[in-house]
Amino acid sequence: MELKNKTTRKPKIVVAQSDYQRLSSLAEAASGHNPEVSEQLLSELDRATIRPDEQVGTDVIRMGSTAEYSTETGEARKVTLVFPGSADISEGKISILTPIGVALLGLTPGQSIDWTARDGRRHRLMVTRVEQGESAQTA
């Protein structure tokens, strides 16, 4: 009767074709030094609906997007999803090669997802807003 182990369905996600290609290569390259997150990213890419860039809505979190979300504790956060070389947590730029970066990919406002931090703790977030950055618009 352990409710903590209850699995919740992951929300449907959409990934732009250009992001899919770059992220697939990145995940493969990272498999040797970051196997857990690499596997998570590949798994998310496998379950995603891949669309041509121009058919991806402006409300979808993609590379370069800034997302606002609330946590299960009610805390609101605003982050930009970036490639590893551009990550800077002090500026709110989180790498796609982190558990939360992978969790955010492809979500839209109103969607929630459970994710596991590197320390093993489970978290839940709900996306409240998405803004497209320049790199997402021109990719």
- Domain borders along the chain are 14-138
Q: Quick one: pLDDT at residue 10?
A: 86
What integer pLDDT is reported at residue 42 of this predicted model? 95
Average pLDDT of 97-105? Answer: 95
Is residue 114 within 8 Å of residue 104, measured between CB atoms? no
| CA 27/CA 18 separation, integer angstroms | 14
Q: Is 27 exposed, middle or buried (0-12, 13-18, 19+ CB in 10 A)?
A: buried
Here the tokens at position 59 are: 């409300």
pLDDT digits (tens, 9 = 90+) for 112-137: 999 888 788 898 999 999 999 865 54
Please tell me the class of the 14-138 domain: alpha beta
Whole-number pLDDT of residue 6: 47
Backbone angles phi, psi at 33, to 5 degrees: -105, -10
How does pLDDT run across 5-64, given as a tens digit for each residue?
Answer: 445 678 999 999 999 999 999 999 999 988 999 999 999 999 999 999 999 999 999 999
The predicted model scores a pTM of 0.86
